[in-house]
Amino acid sequence: GALLYSHLQHKVRSAEALAQKYKQQQEALSAQLQVVYEHRARLERSLQKERGEHKKTKEDFLVYKLEAQEALNKEKQDSMNRYGALSSQHKILKNQHDDVKKQLLDLQLQHNSLRLEHRKSLESHSQKLAQLQQERDSEVSTLQDTVFKLREESKLLRKAHLEVHSQLLSAQAQMEEFRQLKEALQKMPGLR
């Protein structure tokens, strides 16, 4: 019984020591658990704060996204309007370009036609000028021959005029001589 009692006491002391050890461990674990709970509470508060900030950031992002979408839509509409205006202006300029190109082709054709007419006219004028020069040369030659003949005729006429004048003077002298003779005859009484 004493051995059993001693053994039981030893067991009780061992159990108490073990219980004390477990109690210390429990206290340590409780302290650690308290630290964990406090850490968890801080983490939950931080998480709540993060969630609040995340919600605010999300709302801000949604507002920014909505504003950006509206700005993008407005810019897209402005771009479409500008594109429409530029497209209309491009069509107008293209039509003007086509008209100017057509006018240029017409003017080039007209220029070529006028150049051909000018060349023909120039050739015709050159031919007419050559013909006129030839006719003028021929006429000048004819006129020179005529002048030469007229000069010769003038010389002959002067010579004939001198001869006629000489004959006239001779006839006048003869007439004067005849008149004097007639007067002399009239003065003779026997002839009457």
In the predicted model, residues of the chain with pLDDT beneath 70 are: 190-192
| pLDDT computed for residue 188 by the predictor | 81
- Whole-angstrom distance, CA of residue 166 vs CA of residue 44: 168
Helix (H) or strand (E) holding 178: helix 2-187
| pLDDT computed for residue 186 by the predictor | 85
- Whole-angstrom distance, CA of residue 6 vs CA of residue 13: 10
- Whole-angstrom distance, CA of residue 179 vs CA of residue 187: 12
- Whole-angstrom distance, CA of residue 12 vs CA of residue 22: 14
| pLDDT computed for residue 9 by the predictor | 87
Structure tokens at 120: 């023909």
- Whole-angstrom distance, CA of residue 24 vs CA of residue 61: 52
Residue with tokens 């004048």: 165
For residue range 106-134, what is the model confidence (pLDDT) as tens digits?
999 999 999 999 999 999 999 999 999 99
- Whole-angstrom distance, CA of residue 128 vs CA of residue 148: 29
| pLDDT computed for residue 56 by the predictor | 93
φ, ψ dihedrals at 42, nearest 5°: -60, -40
- Which residues are CB-contacts of 185 (< 8 A; sequence separation ≥ 6)? 191
b/e per residue 66-103 (b: at least 16 CB within 10 A)? eeeeeeeeeeeeeeeeeeeeeeeeeeeeeeeeeeeeee
For residue range 37-63, what is the model confidence (pLDDT) as tens digits?
999 999 999 999 999 999 999 999 999
- Whole-angstrom distance, CA of residue 28 vs CA of residue 34: 10
Query: Contact at 8 Å (CB) between 191 and 185?
Result: yes
pTM for the structure as a whole: 0.38
| pLDDT computed for residue 191 by the predictor | 54
